[in-house]
Amino acid sequence: MEYLTLNNGVKMPILGLGTWDLRGSPGYKAILSALSVGYRLIDTAKMYANEEIVGKACKDSKIAREELFITTKFSGSYASYEGVKRGIDESISLFSDSYIDLALIHEPYGDVFGMYEALQEALECGKVRAVGISNFDKNRYLSFIKRCAVIPAVNQIESHVYFSQLDFKEVLNAHGTQMQAWASFTEGRRNVFAEPKLVEIAKKYNKTAAEVILRYQIEHGIAVIPKSADVKRQQENLNVFDFSLSEEDKAQIALLDCKKSLFNWY
């Protein structure tokens, strides 16, 4: 596993497991299998309603807590100062833990400044190790950080070969915020695994299109959290640290970028 160093010195795995839609016993088994094959970052959210099984899988994995990196996100009924204060303690309890590694505002809605104040207080007292945001576009991000005493360590946003947001990544870099991608595989909005150019490039390296996609993002310094409940796919997603893409191949992949969201989030 490779690690990134966040703006407060905390080290975060560059690749983790997204857990959207992983619930109940099947979800627990999927998270446990991911941990068993080498994942160390698990990304969840209040919205996912699965923090308890994330905590149980982490405990049952018998992996030392300091080796794990757990992210959660707050939105909806938690979109206020009091909501985040309550949510932090609730999440820690559901994880059967004493701290959260990374806590994010899930969406740029609600009382974001009150939410962030609560996150900063949790950071100061050791309940979280790093704080950040999710789904803030460039304008919202730049407006937000003008009022922040603590620059967000992470901005988790949509990013894939059809909407890389590499230009936004440069803005984030300039201010010390790490970009983390959700929807690396487009969540089914496009059949990215059958994209001819990606399939062609993958054959050159004896890799899959999925591995090429993740490698492309990682080589641009983007953290990734692909979701998979299948242990073979989980292992495949981890198998991206033993090759590098040529500059020519990266230039070819860049041509796929339509610079338009597939989710109309922005």
- End-to-end CA distance of the chain, in Å? 32
Classify residue 27: in a domain, yes or no.
yes
Domain membership flag for residue 198: no
Number of domains observed in the structure of the chain: 1
Tens of pLDDT along 156-193? 999 999 999 999 999 999 999 999 999 999 999 999 99
Q: Decide: 49 and 77 in contact? Cβ < 8 Å.
A: no
Q: Is the pLDDT of residue 266 over 80?
A: no
User: How many helices (H) does the chain have, and how many strands (E)?
Assistant: 10, 10
Residue 161 lies in a domain: yes
The H or E element that residue 249 is part of is helix 247-254
In 3-state terms the chain splits into helix, strand, coil percentages (rounded to 5) of: 45, 15, 40
Sheet of 128-134: strand order equals: 17-18, 41-43, 69-74, 100-105, 128-134, 154-158, 178-182, 223-224
Q: What pLDDT sits at residue 86? A: 98
Q: Which residues are catalytic?
A: 48
User: Model confidence over 94-122: pLDDT tens digits?
Assistant: 999 999 999 999 999 999 999 999 999 99
The pLDDT tens digits of the residues spanning 116-163 come to 999 999 999 999 999 999 999 999 999 999 999 999 999 999 999 999
Question: Worst-scoring range by mean pLDDT, 52-56, 67-71, 220-224, 262-266?
Answer: 262-266
Q: Is the pLDDT of residue 88 over 70?
A: yes
Would residue 210 count as lying in a domain?
no
Q: Is residue 178 part of a domain?
A: yes
Dist CA 153 CA 69 (whole Å): 14
Per the domain annotation, does 59 fall within a domain?
yes
Residue-number span of the structural domain to which 117 is assigned:
3-187+221-227
Q: What is the pLDDT of residue 264?
A: 81
Is residue 199 included in any domain, yes or no?
no
pLDDT in tens, 3-24: 999 999 999 999 999 999 999 9
Sign of CA pseudo-dihedral 105, 110, 113, 114:
negative
CATH of the domain at 116: 3.20.20.100
Detail the DSSP E strand segments found in 149-255. Answer: 154-158, 178-182, 223-224
